[in-house]
Amino acid sequence: MGFDDVLNIFLPKHTISKEEIKKYLGRPQTKDSRNHLLQGVRLGNLREGFEQADKKFIGQDEEGKRGMKIKEEKMLKKIEDEYDSTISAYAKAYQDYLLEHARLTEGVANCRTQCQENIPTSDGDYVNKRKACIAGCQLKGVQIQKCKNSYKGLSTDTSKKCHHLVTDHCNDGSVNPGAKSSKFVRSQTNADNSKITLLNGCCECGGGISGKPRGLINNQEVKNCDEVVDKLGGGPSYKSICINAGNGAKGFDANANKNFVNRYSDVKGKNDAAMVQMKKLGKKINLLTKARDKIKGTIASEEDLLDQNLKKFEEKYALLQSYGDGGKDYTSIAQYESSSRKKASEELKFYMWSVLAIVLIITVVSNFKKKST
């Protein structure tokens, strides 16, 4: 059994087994040769263990494909399908959102056109009436986002937010009538650390970020029809014109414009879900990449160890081969033969001395009988 035969244990294309090595252990061997053969068995165990550990990560299917790759692909395919589904839902929602926004925006434009058409230049006050009507269209325009308070809390006590301070002074985007409320929401004493007042930072008072649409009168922002009247210097019909703006205009729907903010929330929710899926996919890819690199490192380490053991085995086996064919230890054999010859020599000496002793005894007895007669 040469080294190449033992090496076959570690090559998948060969079928030699440990049992074929073990059978040699049953034959007369020197102690050293038995150790080498046992080392071969241990190396075989190492390789089998390595293959078993490898199969946990790799394995094969019926078509001979790598199992780990299949497992990765299934896992990634599942996440990818979830991501694609989420992206598809987001894309559909966003497309519907844009189409609806375009339709509603066109309705607001039709409202403005109607103001021009329904209030002719022949009306003595048509300029202000048209301004009141257009401001009404603007105030009932498409709401994209809900209002968010930009007020961060009272400078002397940041735990006091908008809802703690404006309850008695503002309502639904407007400041309550009276000098007291007007002064309270405009005062820097009640502002936050960034000098933002309650009037400018609280949605309930008409401030904050985004929220309900606002109108313009003479380049001045208005938050409701009452402010329209104030900016126009008063007038019995301005508030009514503002409130009724858009009635009967083609495609104009004040309620749909108001509720459009919910469509934005829906789109944003689907976008957030898509981002979550994207991050999940990214994390899984990173995790699998790390696992793959770790497995590569483990395999490389095991292969290095195997190479080292094979090298040692080759050296030991080469030494064993130097003893002669069949694993015989000629030094031991020579010592045995020498001992055997020494033993035979000693036995010959014993026999010779025994014969000599017998001859002497016979001679003595014979002489003794002659003298007696």
Of 108-117, 167-176, 260-269, 304-313, which range is least confident? 304-313
Element (H, E) at 333: helix 330-372
- 16 phi-psi bin (left φ>0, alpha ψ -120 to 50, beta other): beta
- Which string of DSSP letters, residue by residue, matches 174-213? EEPSSHHHHHHHH-GGG--TT---HHHH-GGGT-SBS-S-
- pLDDT tens digits along 135-180: 999 999 999 888 899 999 999 999 999 999 999 999 888 889 899 9
pLDDT computed for residue 55 by the predictor = 42
CA distance 82 to 194: 44
| Assigned token pair, 228 | 């329209």
Q: What φ, ψ does residue 124 adopt, rounded to 5°?
A: -60, -30
pLDDT computed for residue 19 by the predictor = 57
Between 123 and 27, name the one with better pLDDT. Answer: 123
- pLDDT tens digits along 73-96: 677 677 778 777 887 888 888 888
- pLDDT tens digits along 11-68: 333 444 555 545 544 544 444 444 444 544 444 444 443 344 344 444 444 454 444 5
What one-character DSSP code corresponds to residue 171?
E
Stretch 107-134: mean pLDDT: 94
According to DSSP, the residues that pair with 209 across neighbouring strands are: 148
| Cβ contact 149:161 at 8 Å | yes
What one-character DSSP code corresponds to residue 221?
E
| Assigned token pair, 81 | 């399908």
Burial 317-329 (b: 16+ CB within 10 A, else e): beebeebeeebeb
| Assigned token pair, 30 | 């020197």
pLDDT computed for residue 104 by the predictor = 93
Between 363 and 159, name the one with better pLDDT. Answer: 159
CA distance 198 to 78: 50
pLDDT computed for residue 117 by the predictor = 94
Q: What φ, ψ does residue 170 adopt, rounded to 5°?
A: -140, 155
- pLDDT tens digits along 294-322: 777 777 777 777 777 777 777 776 776 66
What residue has token string 């007038």? 235
Tell me if residue 170 falls in helix, strand or coil: strand
CA distance 316 to 33: 9
pLDDT computed for residue 223 by the predictor = 86
Please report, as a single letter, which amino acid is at residue 125.
D
CA distance 290 to 308: 27
pLDDT computed for residue 339 by the predictor = 64
Most confident of 236-245, 267-276, 309-318: 236-245
| Cβ contact 106:251 at 8 Å | yes
Most confident of 66-75, 97-106, 111-120: 111-120
Please say if the pLDDT value at position 267 is more than 90: no
| Alpha carbons within 13 A on the beta-carbon side of 321 | 10
Q: How confident is the model at residue 367 (pLDDT cuts 50, 70, 90)?
A: low
Output the average pLDDT for the chain: 75
Question: For residue 301, what are the CA distances in angstroms to 11, 175, 305, 306?
Answer: 18, 75, 6, 9
Q: Is the pTM of this model over 0.75?
A: no
| Cβ contact 143:261 at 8 Å | yes
CA distance 4 to 37: 14
Please say if the pLDDT value at position 239 is more than 90: yes
